[in-house]
Amino acid sequence: MSNLDELVMGKAQKWLDGDYDEATKAQVRNLIENDHNELVESFYKDLEFGTGGLRGIMGVGSNRMNNYTVGFATQGLANYLKKNFPGEQIRVAISHDSRNNSRTFAERVADIFAANDFQVYLFDALRPTPELSFAIRELKCHSGVMVTASHNPKEYNGYKAYWSDGSQVTSPHDTNIIKEVEKIIEVSQVLTGGNPANITILGEEFDKVYLAAIKKLSLSPESVQRYADMKIVYTPLHGAGVHLTPAALKDFGFKNVILVEEQTVLDGNFPTVESPNPEERKTMKMAIDLAEREQADLAMATDPDSDRLGLALRTGSGEYVLLNGNQTLILLMCYQLTRWAELGLIKEGDYVVKTIVTSMMPDAVAAHYGVKCYNCLTGFKYIAKIIREQEGVHTYIGGGEESFGYLAGDYVRDKDGVSACALAAEAAAWCRDTKGMTLYEWLQDLYVKFGFYRESLVNVVRKGKDGAEQIQNMMVDFRANPPQSLLGSPVVQVYDYKTLEVLDTATGVKSAIEGIEDKSNVLQWVTEDGTKVSVRPSGTEPKIKFYFGVKADLPSVEQFEQVQSALDAKIEALKQELKLV
């Protein structure tokens, strides 16, 4: 027997001997007798409580999402909260999405927190991630938990931990919570069944408070009034946006929202899509097909926990272009900044935020409007961290990341697909009203004004234990042997966010990366011609991500297709040079 097999069998036997329920033990015995590979994947390690919480495949075992791993994580978090807020009545909020077992896990979390004598606010049914963030702030909670695996496939579930400002936990709380979670190794350490009276259920009345906060983001009510009948197609992809997104659109004034009815059915198996990821055109197909039939101005989708927005826009020829996350961010940010400027709202110190792997276009747009653009590490919690640091000093306008997340206003501290849908629809009405053009035509105009920035992403998937090792080895190799040039243009800067240093290749001098305090396993190469390539292992999925950014001038909208084709060809050539295709 190998060392790995000994480790796995030892951990599995602990579950058979321990205080686990009989159904769980039966599943463990079945794996031992019939599925060695799955046994190894389920027990070769403990499911890590990472810097954002848990995420993994559902099933039995220490490396799977189940009532026991959720319980260990919750008790560890509870212990950390008690250490941080001694003598206080600790308050927590809990929500969940439509995934299989999400309600079960959410009730498990609520039970454990209640048994620890916390005041618990549990939503009566699924709710979007941004509403959970809003609830933490509105109810003055110390922490919160969202049970979701975002847009991962149906086999996954997850657990996002939030802090008192409504953002996902950041340093030092993230690593300190991990230490507390690692101390929970026995089922008997988890407190349960103590105080159901400590649980308060949140329902529709609280939804109204959240929707009222979103309504305050509206910048062009007159335009919406004139185009209230504009056709909008929306799908929640079987998820948590099903009620609140249409409600937000109605509150803004839109009267012609057309739902993809088949995808309003709440189902954690996501039966109409391969994966509930609105970044993919095949996931958006039913919405786009309906938009074509209805000749709608735009088709929108939110992922299962409704923090991400997928947006497809109608072109002049009647086709529908699915925007990437960078383009959606650009449109929403440019709409906000344009209207803030027109309404005289911009003042000194106002700012926007984006992540380091997001398009470089927001930097140019922000400079044009005289607002600061902060760059931060990947993950919305780092955007929230900047908002927290600037709170009461300067005003946050909006910000986002290339992975289809945007937040306007600071009432929430995570990306908000509900408000993003409402703003995108309002921007489309404003474009028609004030410019006589579609939102897609305005995007092309923005490229003429600020430069044509084009981005692409390649995900290299490596599953399981071997895959994780391969990903780490790839990063080691890239650090040891970074490319000297890309498509003939010399690499002039190498950013390493693990050491927080940037190398000037011409002089060999290393200096500190400005404005970034937290470390992350990310590499970036910037070439002489302005090309940027970023490499980052995913923190939540078994993949390593390659982000490509290129730029060219766009002299006129008439040359859009020609310049776009040239930029796309350049990105494809970069992928080939790095042997990714």
Q: Evaluate whether residue 47 is within a structural domain.
A: no
- Angstrom distance (rounded) from CA 491 to CA 524: 10
Domain termination site, one of 147, 180, 202: 202
State how far the alpha carbon of 152 is from the alpha carbons of 157, 260, 282, 536, 544, in Å.
8, 21, 15, 18, 15
Q: Evaluate whether residue 273 is within a structural domain.
A: yes
- Residue 543: the pLDDT is 87
Domain termination site, one of 202, 228, 253: 202
Q: What is the torsional sign of CA 491, 495, 499, 500? A: positive
Do 301 and 425 belong together in one domain? yes
- Closest to 325 in 3D by CA, of 198, 215, 415: 415
- Angstrom distance (rounded) from CA 82 to CA 118: 9
Query: Could you say which DSSP state residue 411 is in?
Result: S
Confidence of residue 540 (pLDDT cuts 50, 70, 90): low
pTM value is: 0.94
Q: Evaluate whether residue 53 is within a structural domain.
A: no
Confidence of residue 62 (pLDDT cuts 50, 70, 90): very high
88-138 residue pLDDT tens: 999 999 999 999 999 999 999 999 999 999 999 999 999 999 999 999 999
491-529 residue pLDDT tens: 999 999 999 999 999 999 999 998 898 899 999 999 999
Q: What is the torsional sign of CA 260, 262, 265, 266? A: negative
The H-or-E segment that residue 473 falls in is: helix 464-480
- Closest to 249 in 3D by CA, of 510, 429, 442: 429
545-573 residue pLDDT tens: 999 999 999 999 999 999 999 999 999 99
Amino acid letter for position 188: S
- Closest to 160 in 3D by CA, of 136, 129, 135: 129
**Active-site annotation holder among 98, 133, 150, 164:** 150
Do 463 and 532 belong together in one domain? yes
- Residue 440: the pLDDT is 97
Amino acid letter for position 507: T
Do 463 and 442 belong together in one domain? no
CATH of the domain at 77: 3.40.120.10
Do 312 and 387 belong together in one domain? yes
Do 263 and 376 belong together in one domain? yes
Least confident of 237-246, 297-306, 467-476, 479-488: 467-476
- Residue 91: the pLDDT is 98
Domain count, the chain: 3
Mean pLDDT in residue range 155-183 = 94
Q: Evaluate whether residue 6 is within a structural domain.
A: no
Note whether 246 and 452 are within 8 A (CB). no
pLDDT of 285 higher than 80: yes
Domain termination site, one of 450, 469, 493: 450
Do 533 and 391 belong together in one domain? no
- Angstrom distance (rounded) from CA 329 to CA 404: 7
Q: Evaluate whether residue 175 is within a structural domain.
A: yes
Do 477 and 552 belong together in one domain? yes
Query: Could you say which DSSP state residue 123 is in?
Result: E
Least confident of 36-50, 284-298, 365-379: 36-50
34-60 residue pLDDT tens: 999 999 999 999 988 876 789 999 999
With b for 16 or more beta-carbon neighbours within 10 A and e for fewer, the 373-387 pattern comes to bbbbbbbbbbbbbbb
Q: Which residue has the tokens 């609520």?
A: 110
CATH of the domain at 469: 3.30.310
Do 124 and 109 belong together in one domain? yes
Q: What is the mean pLDDT of the chain?
A: 95
Domain around 229 = 210-450
Do 222 and 163 belong together in one domain? no
pLDDT of 290 higher than 90: yes
- Residue 49: the pLDDT is 81
Residues 6+ apart with CB under 8 A from 136: 93, 143, 144, 162, 164, 165, 166
My answer on whether omega of the bond before 172 falls inside 30° of 0, hence cis, is: yes
Mean pLDDT in residue range 329-338 = 98
Q: Evaluate whether residue 27 is within a structural domain.
A: no
Q: Evaluate whether residue 429 is within a structural domain.
A: yes
Do 441 and 499 belong together in one domain? no
Do 140 and 254 belong together in one domain? no
425-482 residue pLDDT tens: 999 999 999 999 999 999 999 999 999 999 999 998 887 777 778 888 899 999 999 9
- Angstrom distance (rounded) from CA 304 to CA 276: 7
- Residue 539: the pLDDT is 66
- Angstrom distance (rounded) from CA 357 to CA 367: 19
Residue % of the chain over a pLDDT of 90: 89
Query: Could you say which DSSP state residue 308 is in?
Result: B
Do 383 and 274 belong together in one domain? yes
Confidence of residue 1 (pLDDT cuts 50, 70, 90): low
Confidence of residue 205 (pLDDT cuts 50, 70, 90): very high
Burial of 139 (0-12, 13-18, 19+ CB in 10 A): middle
Q: Evaluate whether residue 562 is within a structural domain.
A: yes
Confidence of residue 541 (pLDDT cuts 50, 70, 90): low
Cβ atoms within 10 Å of 541's Cβ, excluding its own: 18
150 has catalytic annotation = yes
Burial of 436 (0-12, 13-18, 19+ CB in 10 A): exposed
Q: Is 460 helix (H, G, I), strand (E, B) or coil?
A: strand
